[in-house]
Amino acid sequence: MKVLVVGGGGREHALAWKIARDSRRPQIFCAPGNAGTAALGTNVPIAADDVAGLLEWARGNRPDLTVVGPEAPLCAGLADAFDAEGLRVFGPGREGARIEGSKVFAKEVMFGAGVPTAAAEVFDDVDSALRYVRRRGAPLVVKADGLAAGKGVSVCATVEEAERAVRACMVDRVFGDAGNRILVEERLYGEETSILALVDGEHVVLLASSQDHKRAYDGDRGPNTGGMGAYSPATVVEERALKDIRERILVPVIRELARRNVVYRGVLYAGLMITERGPRVLEFNCRFGDPETQAILPRWQGDILAALEACLDGTLSDGMVQWSQSHCVCVVLASGGYPGPYAKGKEIRGLDAAGQMADVMIFHAGTRVEGTKVVTAGGRVVGVTALGRTLPAAVDRAYEAVRRISFEGMFYRRDIAYRALNGAGR
Ligand code: AMP
Ligand code: GLY
């Protein structure tokens, strides 16, 4: 069996790692992959968002399954193009991917489905948006409608800040067409968590809960990043709340999409704020989270391919997805300067010593093989991931592994999972 994983980050290394361990022993291809995926199979030098290039490769090489990591190719219609060629692909089609690709569409679906989320208004001209901001008053959240590499959201404490955010989108066009329309929404307070589910068009099976750490520095300070670490399970959501999240949020959204003739297959990722009045949706993503996936997949018991394929066949059931009782922690090692400009090509030392530790997985993100060395090639470089019987044990093991790795300019957060360790949300 041949499996193509599309993408080249920590999420894709974790997916390739889990798929490679499947009892069917598939042959793994990863496009474009990184130094970590190269050790599991074959890297294919095609960019993750080059849908035409990937399709051409797949026509020639006929993978039995393609698993798509990032949102860009899904929003660009990769799944539709592969489907049309009779190639099996895990991930929603272009219409379903709009749940992430358009925040306005996502809000319409949520309102249509009666899902709890922040109140919001949509604007496509700057004057009405500014009038609304002044009338409503701060705090407010301003969101560009389209994909903006995770930078399209401004949480604004004052009216002036909100006005600036509106102008940045609609006058200065800093997000290009993605900011032609904006949402101005109510600010919510609470703790954030990521709930991912597998979906086969109808059935919804939750994956283990997790919490991401989006800010660059300890104590949730500094600029927003793609994610500096994650842990699973997230103690802020209790088991019975998960059932509620499934029934009141995920299932209604899938039904609302179906009502709009969109059959959603793949991962539906709900970014939630756990407020005093219960969970509220901040955003949906149409894919696995990164780094969340690195903290979730090591806890998955047994094979993954059958569950992914069941999503395509409409035969997904709860029994296909089982979790270990262990805790998992992923600490991202980043290049100095990230999420701003950073250097590349720095030799990474100690990867083998860290990877040899029991219950430790080193998931590569921005890495590349150069001769006999592995060097940095991105902002997020590796996700150092450890399992433990308890959360403190997993945290200790992960940081012990971190201490074995070094490269010039390396930095990381020293407080991954601190909210749960401090008992917040329990
Ligand atoms: P999003 O890209 O929609 O997930 O937004 C990025 C981040 O902005 C989220 O992870 C939250 O921290 C924050 N955010 C988004 N919407 C809201 C909201 N309505 N209230 C407070 N914070 C928000
Ligand atoms: N970790 C956030 C995301 O994958 O969108």
Could you please report the per-residue DSSP string of 241-273?
HHHHHIIIIIHHHHHHHHHTT---EEEEEEEEE
User: What's the pLDDT at 337?
Assistant: 96
Is the Cβ atom of 192 under 6 angstroms away from ligand 2?
no
Domain count of the fold of the chain: 3
Q: Pick the residue whose CA is nearest to atom 5 on ligand 2.
A: 289
Q: What DSSP string runs through 336-375? A: TTTTS-----PBPB-HHHHHTSTTEEEEESSEEEETTEEE
Q: What CATH number is attached to the domain comprising 79?
A: 3.40.50.20
- Same structural domain, 135 and 178: yes
Least confident segment among 8-17, 33-42, 169-178: 169-178
pLDDT at 340 over 80: yes
- Same structural domain, 250 and 370: yes
Ligand in closest contact with the CA of 229: 2
Ligand in closest contact with the CA of 283: 1
- Same structural domain, 237 and 350: yes
Task: Provide the domain limits for residue 201.
Answer: 191-421
pLDDT at 255 over 70: yes
Asked whether residue 105 is assigned to any structural domain, the reply reads no
- Same structural domain, 217 and 344: yes
Mutate to test the pocket of ligand 1, among 110, 183, 210, 273 (most ligand atoms within 8 A of CB): 273
Q: What DSSP string runs through 405-426? A: -B-TT-B--S-TTHHHHTTTT-
Asked whether residue 102 is assigned to any structural domain, the reply reads no
Q: In this structure, how many other beta carbons lie within 10 angstroms of the beta carbon of residue 258?
A: 13
Q: Pick the residue whose CA is nearest to atom 1 on ligand 1.
A: 283
pLDDT at 171 over 90: yes
Is the Cβ atom of 292 under 6 angstroms away from ligand 2?
yes
Secondary structure of residue 67 in the 3-state scheme:
strand
Q: What DSSP string runs through 186-198? A: E---SEEEEEEEE
Asked whether residue 130 is assigned to any structural domain, the reply reads yes
User: What's the pLDDT at 425?
Assistant: 42
pLDDT tens track for 260-286: 999 999 999 999 999 999 999 999 999
Q: What CATH number is attached to the domain comprising 398?
A: 3.30.470.20
d(CA 306, ligand 2 centre) in Å:
25
Instruction: Read off the pLDDT of each residue in 232-250 and give the average, rounded to a whole number.
Output: 90
- Same structural domain, 147 and 288: no
Asked whether residue 109 is assigned to any structural domain, the reply reads no
- Same structural domain, 181 and 198: no
In the 8-state DSSP scheme, what is residue 91? Answer: S
- Same structural domain, 300 and 404: yes
Residue found by looking up tokens 């600029």 in the block: 223
Q: Using 50, 70 and 90 to split pLDDT, how confident is the model at 426?
A: very low
d(CA 155, ligand 1 centre) in Å:
7
Least confident segment among 145-154, 227-236, 354-363: 145-154
Asked whether residue 73 is assigned to any structural domain, the reply reads yes
- Same structural domain, 333 and 373: yes
For residues 145 and 182, the answer to whether their CB atoms sit within 8 Å is: yes
Distance CA 348, CA 373 (A): 8
Ligand in closest contact with the CA of 227: 2
Q: Pick the residue whose CA is nearest to atom 18 on ligand 1.
A: 187
Asked whether residue 356 is assigned to any structural domain, the reply reads yes
Is the Cβ atom of 70 under 6 angstroms away from ligand 2?
no
- Same structural domain, 357 and 232: yes
- Same structural domain, 218 and 254: yes
Distance CA 335, CA 407 (A): 8
- Please give the model's pTM, rounded to 2 decimal places: 0.95
- Same structural domain, 236 and 271: yes
Residue after which a domain boundary falls, among 186, 204, 231: 186
- DSSP E strands in 172-240: the ranges are 182-186, 191-200, 204-206, 211-212, 215-217, 221-224, 229-232
Q: What CATH number is attached to the domain comprising 162?
A: 3.30.1490.20
